[in-house]
Chains A and B, each alone.
Chain A
Amino acid sequence: MEGETVWGTTAIVGVGETDYIRGADDHVCDLILSASMDAIDDAGLAPSDIDGIIPPPGFMTTEEIAANLGIDDISYHVSVLMGGASPTAALQTAAMAVSCGLAENVLVTLGWNGYSALRPKADARPSKRSMNLGPMGETVRNLYAPYGLMSAAQHYSLYLRHYVDTFGIPEEAAATIALTCREHAHNNARALMRDRPLTRADYDASPYIAEPLRKFDCCLETDCAAAVIVTSVERARDLRQHPVVYLGGAEGHPQPADEIASRSDLLELGIHRAAPRAFGRAGVTAHDMDVLEIYDCFTYVVLLQLEALGFAEPGGAADFVAGGTIGMDGDFPLNTHGGLLSQGHCWGLNHVVEATRQLRHDAGPAQVPDAELALVTGYGDLGDGSIAILGRDR
């Protein structure tokens, strides 16, 4: 099969993440370096073992990360610019680099001051470091911002409204996503909302931000960082942790990828194109999955992704999520860490970290019994999508 050297030959061997905080005292660079060093330690490696880096989209460069961690020989690095789809897409790139022999141990990291950048403390020195908006920058500046559409909630509501009105999606379905993620966050000591309950009445009382999105349909802006280490399955078996194999993955982009309003189908996202590729490469189906870590920037975006992945027909995700299917005791526990909605927003690299813990059987109170297969999605910019299918090594 084409690409057979890439799929199933690499593994995640180290994970690290900071706390998820609103108003971190640490500089964003320290968040990134701290998560990175934790991931290297977790793998039982030394910084000098790292020879590949995929840095965050913005904030910090490969060169700075290497110099600060004490990495002395970088043989491969690349930036992935797909907004929130970046880290999950980066796993594909890391697997390619390792399986081609471009690097042995690749560090994928992402961190940001997603809360503090917009709300600096009174005594804070302003930082010139910022995210690289990539392809979104030009479009938002020229086409959306002049119409008063500055935030992601507003941009995505351009097609989420179409989704809700076309299929009659009940608010109940979005509330189910929000409440499920919140419930799962209560199993996770690292989650920002670990001890903050959310009721349906709270959800119903929350104000609209951009219809159909209410406040509790929107994820949490947080200061945080995460990191993972990818190496070959062979090397992974000699390292400290139980290897979590990268069985397959894919990225996809809507058409056109740089603008929403002009799409012939407003509801065909990148993940619709990525899904058949990812399942084909991994040789599994959606219904084989034990755990789902779905990019949850907004509740309705989760519903659309579940449909794209094949868990339901278009418009059918509302029925799919009803009745506890995505709860801890359901067939497809979703966002077992609380997700972006209730753990915190680390651009989905926190989803990769959680999937890895689940497949190591090291997820504590959030553990899905005997989890063997996990699916992670990323979603970013104006609908780019990425997928990673991970499996517990034999």
Chain B
Amino acid sequence: MIGSYVPRPEWLMLDWHHACLEADMVTIQRCASCATWRHPPRRFCAACRSRESAFVPVSGAGTVRSYAVSHRSMDPGWHEATPYATLVVALDEQVSLLAATTSTPNDLALGMPVQCSIERRSDDFVLVWAEPSDETPDIRPAASGR
């Protein structure tokens, strides 16, 4: 296991981790009323104000929007793995989330297709991983407006 810190989430985050563990895949919160996806989990839907929602399993397919490349980390476990990348992944559901990756930083680029999966780290916590997928590279720019 890369990294040694496993938090003990509470409230909505805990519900999300439990949902991912139960589904054994990435789940994303979806409004039960207007079907808008959202992450990280929130109590109310910003689109329709409904408080009814469910954590729905998703394919985990997405693209790289951005990535940090760390050359040091205060976590000794991660520090051993430097330099390592951490991805901001845009899922096909149009929500973004953070994901670890085993890919070397030089092999990454914005817009690259990736596939997300989960790693169980405790009864209350999953870590999301994303690795380059075999799909034909998506040539759409991942960059948003600015």
List residues of A (306-332) whose CB comes within 8 Å of B's CBs: 314-315
Instruction: Judge whether A166 and B40 touch: CB under 8 Å.
Output: no
Task: Determine the residue in chain B with the shortest Cβ distance to A272.
Answer: B146
A142-B84 contact, Cβ under 8 Å, with A210-B71, A264-B144: no
Contact with B along A250-285 (1 / 0, CB 8 A): 000000000111111111100000000000000000
- CB-CB under 8 A from B97, the residues of chain A are 261-262
Instruction: Judge whether A208 and B146 touch: CB under 8 Å.
Output: no
Contact with B along A158-193 (1 / 0, CB 8 A): 110110011000000000000000000000000000
A150-B68 contact, Cβ under 8 Å, with A261-B96, A267-B146, A268-B146: no
Cα–Cα distance between A162 and B79 once the two chains are bound (Å) = 23
Instruction: Judge whether B75 and A262 touch: CB under 8 Å.
Output: no
Q: Which of B3, B98, B144 contacts A143 (CB 8 A)?
A: B98
Interface hub of B68, B81, B95 (most chain A Cβ within 10 A): B68
A210-B68 contact, Cβ under 8 Å, with A147-B98, A261-B96: yes
A126 in the interface (beta carbon within 8 A): no
Instruction: Judge whether A162 and B65 touch: CB under 8 Å.
Output: yes
- CB-CB under 8 A from A149, the residues of chain B are 68, 70, 73, 86, 98
Contact with A along B55-98 (1 / 0, CB 8 A): 00000000001111111111101110101101010000001111
A162-B86 contact, Cβ under 8 Å, with A146-B121, A211-B69: no
A157 in the interface (beta carbon within 8 A): yes
For chain B, the count of residues having a C-beta within 8 Å of the partner chain is: 44
B100 in the interface (beta carbon within 8 A): yes
- CB-CB under 8 A from A267, the residues of chain B are 144, 146
A166-B143 contact, Cβ under 8 Å, with A147-B86, A261-B88, A266-B66: yes
A200 in the interface (beta carbon within 8 A): no
Cα–Cα distance between A261 and B105 once the two chains are bound (Å) = 18
Instruction: Judge whether B40 and A262 touch: CB under 8 Å.
Output: yes
Cα–Cα distance between A53 and B86 once the two chains are bound (Å) = 41
B9 in the interface (beta carbon within 8 A): yes
Cα–Cα distance between A154 and B40 once the two chains are bound (Å) = 19
A266-B88 contact, Cβ under 8 Å, with A145-B5, A147-B127: yes
Contact with B along A208-219 (1 / 0, CB 8 A): 111100000000
Q: How far is the CB of B102 from chain A (nearest CB, A)?
A: 13
A151 in the interface (beta carbon within 8 A): yes
List residues of A (120-153) whose CB comes within 8 Å of B's CBs: 141-151
A207 in the interface (beta carbon within 8 A): yes
Task: Determine the residue in chain B with the shortest Cβ distance to A150.
Answer: B74
Q: Which of A159, A211, A268 contacts B71 (CB 8 A)?
A: A211
Instruction: Judge whether A209 and B71 touch: CB under 8 Å.
Output: yes
Q: Which of A143, A148, A151 contacts B84 (CB 8 A)?
A: A148
Instruction: Judge whether A266 and B144 touch: CB under 8 Å.
Output: yes
Instruction: Judge whether A259 and B40 touch: CB under 8 Å.
Output: yes
A158-B7 contact, Cβ under 8 Å, with A149-B68, A149-B70: no
Q: Which of A146, A161, A211, A265 contacts B5 (CB 8 A)?
A: A146
Contact with B along A39-76 (1 / 0, CB 8 A): 00000000000000000000000000000000000000
Cα–Cα distance between A154 and B73 once the two chains are bound (Å) = 9
Q: How far is the CB of A216 from chain B (nearest CB, A)?
A: 14
A158-B3 contact, Cβ under 8 Å, with A166-B143, A211-B69: no
Instruction: Judge whether A142 and B67 touch: CB under 8 Å.
Output: no
A142-B9 contact, Cβ under 8 Å, with A148-B3, A267-B146: yes
- CB-CB under 8 A from A158, the residues of chain B are 66-68, 86, 88, 98
Task: Determine the residue in chain A with the shortest Cβ distance to B109.
Answer: A165
Q: How far is the CB of B79 from chain A (nearest CB, A)?
A: 8
Interface hub of B39, B78, B84, B99 (most chain A Cβ within 10 A): B78
Assuming A154-B70, A266-B65, what are 12 further A-B pairs, CB within 8 angstroms? A142-B7, A142-B9, A143-B40, A146-B7, A148-B86, A162-B66, A165-B109, A165-B110, A208-B69, A208-B71, A261-B97, A266-B88
Binding site for B on A (CB under 8 A): 141-151, 154-155, 157-159, 161-162, 165-166, 207-211, 259-268, 314-315
Cβ contacts A to B, 30 pairs, < 8 Å: A142-B9, A145-B75, A146-B3, A147-B78, A148-B3, A148-B70, A148-B75, A149-B68, A149-B86, A149-B98, A150-B75, A151-B74, A154-B86, A155-B68, A158-B86, A161-B69, A162-B66, A165-B143, A208-B69, A209-B72, A210-B72, A211-B69, A211-B105, A259-B40, A261-B97, A265-B145, A266-B66, A267-B144, A267-B146, A314-B146
